[in-house]
Structures are given as C-alpha cells and as structure tokens.
Structure 1
Amino acid sequence: MTTLVYDGTFEGLLTVVFEVYEHKLFQVKICTESKLQPNFFDDKRSITSDTAKANRVLKGLMQQLSAGGVQRLYAAHLAELDGEEENLLGFIRYAFSSKGAVEEDFGNKYVIRLNDTLKKVRREKHRMEAFIRFQKMADGIFYASVEPDFNVLPLILTHFKNRYADQKWIIYDIRRGYGLYYDLHEVDFIQMDFASGRPQGKNIISSYSEDETLYQALWKDYFKHVNIPARKNTKLHLQHVPKRYWKHLTEKF
C-alpha cells in the first residue's frame, strides 16, 4: 500500500492522479497531512501540486467527461470526506478506461458514490445561499461567518457576487479559516487574523455600523410577526433549518 499525501486542493488531487499513472501505482491511499495516520508498513510519498501535471490530467478528463461531469468531480472533492479521494480516483480510473460515457452508469460503485456525495454538497450549497446573514460593519463592509459541513464557498461565489453586486462583503468560513471578499469588482479568497473567525459579544457589537443594531431588531420583529403559533411545526422546521446553523442566523440570536 502506498500512501500519497497532498495539499487538499483539486489541483493537488489531479497531480496525485498523474503520479498514480506515471508510477503505475495500484493500491494507494490518498489523504492530506492532517488526516495522515502513521503506518510503518505503508510507503508514504508527499505529492507537491504541479500545475503542468494537473492540467494534463484535466485535459484528459475533459475528453472523457462532459463539462458538467468535470464540474461534478470538482464539487464532490469539496466534500472533504474521509476516504473520498480514493473514490474519486476510482471514478477517474473508470472514466479513463471506458470507451463510452460513464457519468450515468449507475451500475458502477464509483459513479454511485460520486453522485451521493454530490447530492450532499449541493444541499449544503443551497443551505448556505439561503441561511447566510450579513451584518453591516462600521467600515461599510457586510460580513457573514459560516461553518458549512462541506467546503462550499467556491460554489456559492457566483451566487453572491451576482446577488449583492452593489456592496462590499465578506463571507468567512471559520471552520476552514478562509473566506471570500468582494470589493465591488472581483471576488478574492482571503484569510483573516482573528482566531475564531467571528468576533463575539462586545467585540462584534462594537464593530457594527450605527444602524446595524436597528436592522437586526427589525429583522427579528419581522420574523416574530410572520410566525403563526398555531401552525408551528418544530420537527419540520428543524429539517429545513438544522440547529447547527442557528448561531449564524440573526433571527435566532
């Protein structure tokens, strides 16, 4: 068994695929350094992301898969699930070894796994698009912190750039320590200095713009008045808005 350690990026994964084929590796385990479990019997190799090698693999995938198929492969990689890299490698190997289309071949275990993972990632993407609540800070930037189950910030970038094109904003994933910053022109990936990603208590309140507290009060009042106690269905509500999201929703503060 050969353990291939990479940086967790999609380019890094494609570089790993290149190395697998170049060195004719068959039994492999793929993981990031943070998920590496030492095993004295495994041959460990660190793989450095290589743009040229990744592009060669990507070019091959684009010949075997549709444009949507390559995008689905990328989205599934963002799930960051344990052992998912081996499933993605299995799917890529299947795609390269097949003469026909493989994306809808649900008799193959790798195709099934890819689609199951993709459903989870897409569901989280839609939840982020619905649940993100911005807070206007004193410098005029609208800020929102999130803790998605999957690494979906790259997937929601276009949605928020189009929807909030007239204001500067930051969406920060405090679980993964990076975020998106829109400056009215482009969206950049950023990292911030604070450890928790989202100031708490007096710190966040002192950073508000003068009218932010009023807006939050109006928002909470709106939710209070549109709520119909007689039609309350807690179980259904939790299905659509799980409790793990509540601490980032203004109406739940």
Structure 2
Amino acid sequence: MNPQTILIYDGSFDGFLSCVFFVYHHKITNPIIRKESEANNQLFTITEDIITDKNNALRVWKGLLLKTSRHQQQDFFKAFLSEIKGVENTLLSYIQNIFTKETSTGIDFSNKDILKISQVAKMVGREKHRMEAFVRFQLTKDAIYTATVEPDFNVLPLIIPHFKDRYADQKWIIYDIKRNYGIYYNLKTIETIAIDSFSKTKFKISSDLLLPEEKDFQKLWSTYFNSVTIKSRKNNKLHKQHLPKRYWKYLIEKTQ
C-alpha cells in the first residue's frame, strides 16, 4: 500500500497555489492539502511542508486564467476564502479537471466540484456585500476611522476596492477580530496589519480611544434613528429578514 502524501501550507492563497505547483512538479497522485493549523491524525502518510513561493503561485494562477474566464477565477478565489474545511482539495480537483481539458467549453455545472465552488462563491459574495453595507467606522484619537468585524468568511480581501474608493481621503482600518488581522489604508496604499489587543476586543471600540466628537456623533445618530422610527409600523420579522440580527453588533444605532 502506497502512503498518501499530505501537503502542509501556511494558510495563505499563495501557499495553496504553491501546493498545486508542487503536486504537478513532483507528479503526486491523490494528495491531501491541509493548513498547518490542522492536525494530522492519519496513519501511513507522507507529510511535506510546502514553502510559499510567489513565483510558483503566479504560474499556477496565470495557467488557471488561460483555461477559465475571469469570473470563474474570481469564484475560485472566493471559494478559497470561505475557509470551509477541505475546500483546498475541492479546488485542486477542479484545477486538475480544468487542466485536463484541451479547450475551454464553458462552465460545466454537472461537475460536482465546479458546482460546489459556484455555490460556495455565492455564499462568500453575499457576505462580502453585507460587510460593505454594515461596517460602521468610529473615529479614534489618532484620526483613523476604525471598524471591527467578524464575518463568517474571510472577506476582507474582497471588500478592499469598495472602501478604498468610497473613503479615499481618509485613513481607515477594518479589523477582523475572528482571524486577528486587518486592512489599513494610509491614503496611498493598503497594508495588512495584526494588532494583538484587537483580537481580545469586542465590536464596540473602547470609548477611551474615541474622539469626543465621535461620541457626540454616535449619541446624535442614535437619537435620530429612534426619532424616525414609527413604532406602530415596526415589523420585526421583516426587519430581521433584511437585517439579520447577527449584524446588529456592527451598527451604532443598535448598540447605544
């Protein structure tokens, strides 16, 4: 019995694509790709630690684009960001299927891997749009608009263009406390940051860190929201349908 090969990577997208390159370069059959944070309890396996190589990753990414459309490539990336357990192996199977074909014949939804990737991509896309709608910034004493989030999927890379375009003249941070990293816009570029204290915080940033004007604005907004609400016309069921309760923690008007 030939032992199965498990490829361990750092959890990044480039790291995953480096695994794909390794599979093809070394002609590995039936590999399993896992994040280094996931335990391996399987017996009779060979473990390979894959070093992230951006050049190898780029070669795979360009090769995928040659065989698919830009839309399919975006769905591929969204599916990876879902972080669903085992999604890497579904994506690898998808790549192997795509690379086997001599020509592209469009999206074949009869293929189980293609169908699953499409379904997962739609879920991630919905979460992306919700984050764009429900993120609420608070102005801190260092003049940076800051927001904390905890999305179901790792959508921060997807929401960068929206916030960079909309808030191009302001410094801002959107921090994912679930994954302990954030994106910081410094008026020129986007940087990925990690702040240990943020991983222990709640959604509401400490009032000690906020400008006095920000506190006043939040009170004013909460007062306005309450004043325009017509209690006799409230439909809680419909309200929760359009604004699920799990997003209320982001909204100033719901936390005052």
Query: With structure 1 as the length reference, what TM-score do the two structures score?
Result: 0.93
Three-state SS of the structure 1 residue aligned to 2:37 is: helix
Q: Partner of 1:152 in structure 2?
A: 155
Question: Structure 1 segments of 4 or more deviating over 4 A?
Answer: none
Q: 1:238 aligns with which of 212, 235, 240?
A: 240
Three-state SS of the structure 2 residue aligned to 1:99 is: coil
Matches within 5 A, 1:78-97: 78-97=81-100
Three-state SS of the structure 2 residue aligned to 1:211 is: helix
* Residues 190-219 of structure 1: CA deviation (Å, up to 9, x unaligned): 111315353688x71111101111111122
CA distance in 2, matches of 1:184, 1:167: 6
Q: Partner of 2:173 in structure 1?
A: 170
Question: Aligned AA for 2:27?
Answer: K
Q: Partner of 1:75 in structure 2?
A: 78
Q: 2:47 aligns with which of 40, 44, 52?
A: 44
* Residues 105-127 of structure 1: CA deviation (Å, up to 9, x unaligned): 11111110110010011000000
* Residues 159-210 of structure 1: CA deviation (Å, up to 9, x unaligned): 0011011111110011111111111121111111315353688x71111101
CA distance in 2, matches of 1:90, 1:228: 53
**More deviation in 214-223 or 89-98?**
214-223
CA shift in 2, pair 1:74/1:102, >3 Å: farther
* Number of equivalenced pairs: 252
Residues 69 and 103 in structure 1, CA contact (< 8 A), matched pair in contact too:
no
Question: Aligned AA for 1:65?
Answer: T
Question: Aligned AA for 1:44?
Answer: T
CA distance in 1, matches of 2:33, 2:246: 30
Identity %: 47
Three-state SS of the structure 2 residue aligned to 1:35 is: coil
Q: 1:114 aligns with which of 113, 117, 123?
A: 117
Calculate the aligned-residue CA RMSD, in Å.
1.8
**More deviation in 106-115 or 35-44?**
35-44
Residues 14 and 57 in structure 1, CA contact (< 8 A), matched pair in contact too:
yes
Residues 137 and 143 in structure 1, CA contact (< 8 A), matched pair in contact too:
yes
CA shift in 2, pair 1:158/1:232, >3 Å: same
TM-superposed CA distance for 1:232, in Å, is 2.3
CA shift in 2, pair 1:221/1:33, >3 Å: same
TM-superposed CA distance for 1:252, in Å, is 1.3
CA distance in 1, matches of 2:212, 2:160: 28
Question: Aligned AA for 1:39?
Answer: Q
Residues 180 and 196 in structure 2, CA contact (< 8 A), matched pair in contact too:
no
Any stretches of 5+ residues in structure 2 without a counterpart? Answer: none
CA shift in 2, pair 1:5/1:239, >3 Å: farther
**More deviation in 21-30 or 168-177?**
21-30
CA distance in 2, matches of 1:54, 1:199: 36
* Residues 128-174 of structure 1: CA deviation (Å, up to 9, x unaligned): 00000001111111110000111111100010011011111110011
Matches within 5 A, 1:191-210: 191-194=194-197, 196=199, 198=201, 204-210=206-212
CA shift in 2, pair 1:34/1:104, >3 Å: same
Q: Partner of 1:223 in structure 2?
A: 225
Three-state SS of the structure 2 residue aligned to 1:196 is: helix
